[in-house]
Amino acid sequence: MKELGRHILVEMYDCDPVVLNDEETISREMLRAAEVSGATIVGDVFHRFSPHGVSGCVVIAESHLSIHTWPEYRYAALDLFTCGENVDPWKAFKHLRKVLKAERSSQTEIKRGLFPLEEGQRLPFKPGK
């Protein structure tokens, strides 16, 4: 079986609450995470909630990276979903874990779009190209 993409569901705990509440930092570092993973950025949107918390998404040609923060709990939830063979969502994970200063995390990788292939056959990620 070959997958179209990898989707990492991440729980980050005991993060820096100042960073978790800073929309500018979250936005900049999510974009940087997309870059270090090898993704192609298409667009992004971020929002700071009142009194606290930030949510945002970086849309990439290979899927998306999203984050939701709860500074009052020192917690962040992330979805790092990438497709293709040239993007590594684990690089994005490592970058964001460091930026958020997470003392602990849990992560689960899910293979998305599983297809049976013959020996030596490749899955085209952009059919017709």
Which of 68, 95, 105, 106 is the catalytic position? Answer: 68
Whether residue 64 lies in the annotated active site: no
| 3-class secondary-structure state, position 97 | helix
The reply to whether 80 falls in a domain is yes
The reply to whether 117 falls in a domain is no
The reply to whether 112 falls in a domain is no
Stronger pLDDT, 84 or 50, i.e. the higher one: 50
pLDDT greater than 50 at residue 6: yes
**pLDDT above 70: percentage of residues in the chain:** 95
Sheet holding 104-115, edge to edge: 41-48, 54-60, 63-70, 75-83, 2-13, 104-115
Structural domain total, the chain: 1
Whether residue 15 lies in the annotated active site: no
The reply to whether 42 falls in a domain is yes
Return the CATH number at 8: 3.60.90.10
Report the alpha-carbon distance of residue 116 to residue 86 in Å, rounded.
Answer: 20
Give this prediction's pTM.
Answer: 0.90
In this structure, what are the phi and psi dihedrals at residue 20, rounded to the nearest 5 degrees? Answer: -60, -25
Whether residue 83 lies in the annotated active site: yes
What is the per-residue pLDDT across 61-85, written as a single tens digit (0 to 9) for each? 999 999 999 999 999 999 999 998 8
pLDDT at 121: 75
The reply to whether 58 falls in a domain is yes
| Domain enclosing residue 33, as ranges | 2-107
pLDDT greater than 90 at residue 17: yes
